[in-house]
Structure 1
């Protein structure tokens, strides 16, 4: 087996044999591993790894994405832990490296996502499965770009949190998905996930669309009412956060979802 691999942060790995005991710290990457036919290799997941649905009843839960139980992971004796630069902290990754190698992904763009799928295919010797997914995703991506080509660009704000109010800024996967949809993020020059004041929203960009995500904070009707008081003419739209923020194989479903979203917006 080819033994030298490099993760998306540039860390080198000498992997002598296919990892058979894997702990996944990222929900979308857990889903991808299963879609690549690698479910039996997974021994530990986070409480947020909700797809596929049955996984939580058959795999060991090792905490969340920001807080993990090191002892539980150690007892599982993993030979590889899969993490992500945004989802997991550097402190967690460094602590886990004392147990076994930690592969860290860094998915911001569509191309980063394709790279991650390809990497997993190589590490786990599932190149054919990985390539099938890459082909399907690339086909759907090309199709969606054709679909969206005629759509006008609309100014948008994508809310992810309340108390304090936080939105998606730049340099993250959500913003890439907004751009792909011809939604111009009014906060893409304010850092990655800026805190904002509702009363300043109109001066800071006056969005046409206000997206309220289902995760990490589940926005409700009363939130839409509250936020709506501070927008001029914006249409408030509840969106499935998984479709905008989960990468991996989930993006294939996202393209179909985005088409329906454009129909809803009109």
Structure 2
């Protein structure tokens, strides 16, 4: 995602590459940033860039207090272009999975810099921090986050090494019942602490394929040892856990979806949350 390079017109100025290989020069203190990615809005504030964030989506909710002063520009997929033009951003942060390609193309017609991101697993955040640090002049804050992430990865690896692997079903929706494919960020996060998601499918580029619908008669469900019910996008609650336990015959546990699916700065707390949850469930079973 990130690559230091040299501009052909000015060999003294470093440029950086985003997830699509587009080159970006360091922005400086005059950058006006709109984020269309909730977890990366949180990252921008964590890096000390809150004063330069001039717009965000209605789904950008962290940090709650600070975001009250930041104008909304619609949702992640229904961006209000007239509002975007009014805000005159120099940089818009987007994500391959969360934002529509036609939205990105339309923005590119009047926004000087569209920064495309695509972290597919927790380790990809190291490059993401590096990219944002170099782009927005907050290298020290980015390096501190990188150190925290490496520590959290080590903690997760220690838990994974100490406990037997467990096959899990991670629910994100009800009626229809939906889960996650192996090539999702969620599955990669769970794998860091030794939870392997079922079904054993790769979703590819298709959004529907990455979040498959299933029914409770599927053969592979016999291999599931534990079911997780996420707090987002469907807000599962305790009575749903009872329902799922009855349907699956397996223990069902509520899980914080933000901790599992939000990349950016949240990955550090997310990995530690999962490591703690893994230990807690083992202790509870003893």
TM-score range, shorter chain: over 0.9
Change (3 A) 1:146 1:16: closer
Distance apart, 1:16 and its partner CA: 6.1
Change (3 A) 1:205 1:14: farther
Alignment of 1:252-263 (within 5 A): 252-263=268-279
Distance apart, 1:228 and its partner CA: 2.5
Change (3 A) 1:15 1:186: same
| Unmatched segments (≥5 aa) in structure 2 | 1-11, 204-209
Alignment of 1:15-30 (within 5 A): 17-18=28-29, 20-30=31-41
Alignment partner of 2:141 out of 129, 145, 149: 129
Alignment partner of 2:239 out of 211, 218, 222: 222
Alignment of 1:100-249 (within 5 A): 100=111, 101-191=113-203, 192-200=210-218, 202-232=219-249, 234-249=250-265
Deviations 1:150-178 (A, max 9, x none): 11111101111223221111222101011
- Are 1:265 and 2:281 counterparts? yes
In the alignment, the residues of structure 1 paired with residue 200 and residue 50 of structure 2 have an alpha-carbon distance, to the nearest angstrom, of 37
- What TM-score results when the alignment is normalised by the length of structure 2? 0.87
Contact 2:35 2:53 in 1 (8 A): yes
Change (3 A) 1:256 1:15: closer
In the alignment, the residues of structure 2 paired with residue 38 and residue 58 of structure 1 have an alpha-carbon distance, to the nearest angstrom, of 14
Q: How many residues align?
A: 264
Change (3 A) 1:203 1:20: closer
| Unmatched segments (≥5 aa) in structure 1 | none
- What TM-score results when the alignment is normalised by the length of structure 1? 0.93
In the alignment, the residues of structure 2 paired with residue 52 and residue 170 of structure 1 have an alpha-carbon distance, to the nearest angstrom, of 30
Deviations 1:183-206 (A, max 9, x none): 111123152111111232x54453
In the alignment, the residues of structure 2 paired with residue 105 and residue 59 of structure 1 have an alpha-carbon distance, to the nearest angstrom, of 22
